Chain A
Amino acid sequence: MFEHLPIKRRRVLRGFLVGGIIAWAAPFVYAASKFLSYQGILGGNTTAKFPASQLTEANPSTLVEVEGEPVIVIREPDNSIRAFTATCTHLGCIVSYRSQLMIGQEQIPGFYCRCHGGKFDSNGINVPGTPPKSPLTELKVTTSLNDLIISLTPIVSRT
């Protein structure tokens, strides 16, 4: 629309026009993005609590919710109780515990994700050659009388 003006002045004016429109729109985009980013009040409990007897040899794992996140609690063959974040590190599905999982050439306990066949060993370490590229996080388990209490406190990797 500034065709009748010299080229240099035309560029400056066009710059003002476009800049003005962007500056005008910016607060509206900001408000809308703040509006859309609202996450709500996080639901869920800060800990999960259930009796240790729930984990048996026949049924050695269970899924619980802590602060809105799925956590898998397992009873290993040596009867030690461990908890891991159950969110697969590939694309966020929920993993399950298998006492017989084909890892490499042997059948050993581990975690399996149904979505894309991701595997983790019983320490939560992702098996190379399967989709996940990072391990599950091991979480702290405390006991109170006969109950297990699980929180989102990570245990620093022992491997």
Chain B
Amino acid sequence: MDLVDALHLREPWEALKIRRIPHHRHSYWYYLGGLALFFLAIQVVTGLLLLCYYRPTPEAANQSVRMIVSNVPFGIVIRSIHAWAANILIAIVIIHTLSVFFMKSYRTPRVILWITGIVLLLILLGFGFTGYLLPWDQTSYFATMIGTELPREIPVVGDILVSWFRGSKEITGATLTRMYGLHVALLPLLALAFAATHVAISTLLGRAVPAGAKVKRETRFIPDYLLGESIIWLIGLAILLVVAVLFPWPLGPAYDLAKPSEPPAGVHPAWYFMFLYQTLKYLPNWATLWFYLIILLFWTLVPWLARVWKSWLLTGIGIILIAGFGILTTLAYFSVAQEKAGAKIGQISPTILPDSGTTGQ
């Protein structure tokens, strides 16, 4: 490699060349982190492209997205890829987190990987939430209304936080500008910083081998592991392209601030917030907020709890959490389907749940 010498990269290059990845029956889970990185790169590229035509004002936002999908060459595919990849990326990162949790790969010295990983997941959820408003259709309008209302329950600073997010009393052009700023400036910076730290430290520490896994052999990082990883990337990309082309991401009619309207039937957030949507039907807002903040705190503290608690206890709690989130999400989709069916025959379906008086969307 002449280029390596020309750029004076001989030392890091040699270091990468002697890098080895342990091969055992669980080692395919290692690919998930790299796959997430690849999807993040797709988001950066497609996001930059969409940025060329998107206009963040209530009057122009929906219109400009409509122009992208109907007039700009390949616009419909690029927008669809951005929307689908966002969802797939969050799914990949959730599975990645769970694999680390169950294989207990968060143990010292990998605690910092666990923490940065959780922050990265939260950043991605932030991307999802802020990006949801940008097409400025009815669903996105009301989803943002509910999402920005929740922090109000935080004592003392709640009201201030809500006003920071909204920039006005309700959701207006001020909110759109702020969400846009977060989505294209602050969150990308944070994501870059945390992803770089996460990848750098994981490279430095090497792969964790879960207890009980027998290392059969070691794979060279260059080229064997990278080639294996690139095959996973290509499979991921192929699936993404097929889904994005066959199922173009829908775009609802623009929300008109001058003509307030009720939310469309079955209005709901993205799938990764459906547990929250469903919980808000059962619990008061403040209880929902604190409940999930405590779960988040527990999840963050797992590396420390693992030193004190029995292994089976932690694994058990993990399974209960997955089951809980799964059941809540499923129930949420059932109620959305029921609500849509109810709206079709011209009646509101009162049978789903007792009205608890909370903002149930």
Question: Are A and B subunits of one complex?
Answer: yes
- Docked-complex contact B223 and A31, CB < 8 angstroms: no
The size bracket of the interface on A is: 10 to 19
B residues 50-66 with Cβ under 8 Å of A? Answer: 52-53
- Report yes or no: A38 in contact with B49, Cβ–Cβ below 8 A: no
Closest to A36 in B: B52
With beta carbons under 8 angstroms apart, the residue of B73, B77, B222, B223 that contacts A38 is B73
Whether A35 and B222, one on each chain, are in contact in the complex, defined by CB atoms closer than 8 angstroms, is no
Known: A31-B77, A31-B78. A36 touches B71 (CB 8 A): no
Q: In whole Å, how far is A29's beta carbon from the nearest beta carbon of chain B?
A: 11
Query: For the complex, would chain A's binding face be called helix, strand, loop or mixed by DSSP majority?
Result: helix
Determine the distance from Cα of A67 to Cα of B222 in the docked complex, in whole angstroms: 57
Question: With A36-B49, A36-B52 known to touch, is A31 a contact of B222 (CB < 8 Å)?
Answer: no
Instruction: Report chain A residues within 8 Å CB of B45.
Output: 32
Which among A1, A32, A34, A38 is the interface contact of B71 at CB below 8 angstroms? A38
A-B contact count (CB 8 A): 29
Q: Give the distance to chain B from A3, nearest Cβ to Cβ, in Å.
A: 10
CB distance from B52 to the nearest CB of A (A): 6
Residues of B within 8 A of A35 (CB): 49, 52, 72-75, 78
Q: CB-defined interface of A22-51 with B at 8 Å, one 1/0 digit per residue?
A: 000000000110111110110000000000
CB < 8 Å: which of A1, A34, A40 contacts B74?
A34
> Residues 166-210 of chain B: 1 if any A CB is under 8 Å from the residue's CB, otherwise 0?
000000000000000000000000000000000000000000000
* In the complex, chain B residues whose CB is within 8 Å of the CB of A36: 49, 52
Whole-angstrom distance between the Cβ of B65 and the nearest chain A Cβ:
14
Give complex CA distance A36, B49 in Å. Answer: 7
Contacts of B71 in A (CB 8 A): 38, 40-41
Q: How far is the CA of A47 from the CA of B72 in the complex (A)?
A: 27
A41 — which chain B residues lie within 8 A by C-beta?
71
What separation, in Å, do the CA atoms of A34 and B71 have in the docked complex?
12
Least CB distance from B287 to A in Å reads 47
A95 to chain B, nearest CB (A): 30
Minimum CB–CB distance for B211 against chain A, Å: 33
Cα(A128)–Cα(B18), bound, Å: 66
Asked if residues A1 and B72 are in contact (CB atoms below 8 Å), the reply is no
Contacting residues, chain B, for A31 (C-beta < 8 A)? 73-74, 77-78
Q: Which residues of A contact B73 (CB under 8 A)?
A: 31, 34-35, 37-38
Q: Which residues of B are found within 8 Å of A32, using beta-carbon distances?
A: 45, 49, 74, 78
Alpha-carbon gap, A34 to B74, bound state (A): 7
Chain A hits for B77, CB < 8 A: 31
Looking at the assembled complex, report how far the CB atom of A1 sits from the nearest CB atom of chain B, in whole angstroms. Answer: 4
In the complex formed, the residue of A with least CB distance to B222 is A1
By beta carbon, the residue of chain A nearest B227 is A1
A40 proximity list for chain B (CB < 8 A): 71
Residue of A nearest to B77 (CB): A31
Nearest CB in chain A to that of B220: its residue: A1
B residues within 8 Å of A by Cβ? 45, 49, 52-53, 71-75, 77-78, 222-223
21 example contacts (A-B, Cβ-Cβ < 8 A) are as follows: A1-B222, A31-B73, A31-B77, A32-B45, A32-B49, A32-B74, A32-B78, A34-B73, A34-B74, A35-B49, A35-B72, A35-B73, A35-B74, A35-B75, A35-B78, A36-B49, A36-B52, A38-B71, A38-B72, A38-B73, A41-B71
List the 10 closest A-B pairs by CB distance, nearest first.
Answer: A1-B223, A34-B73, A31-B74, A38-B72, A35-B74, A35-B49, A34-B74, A35-B73, A35-B72, A35-B78
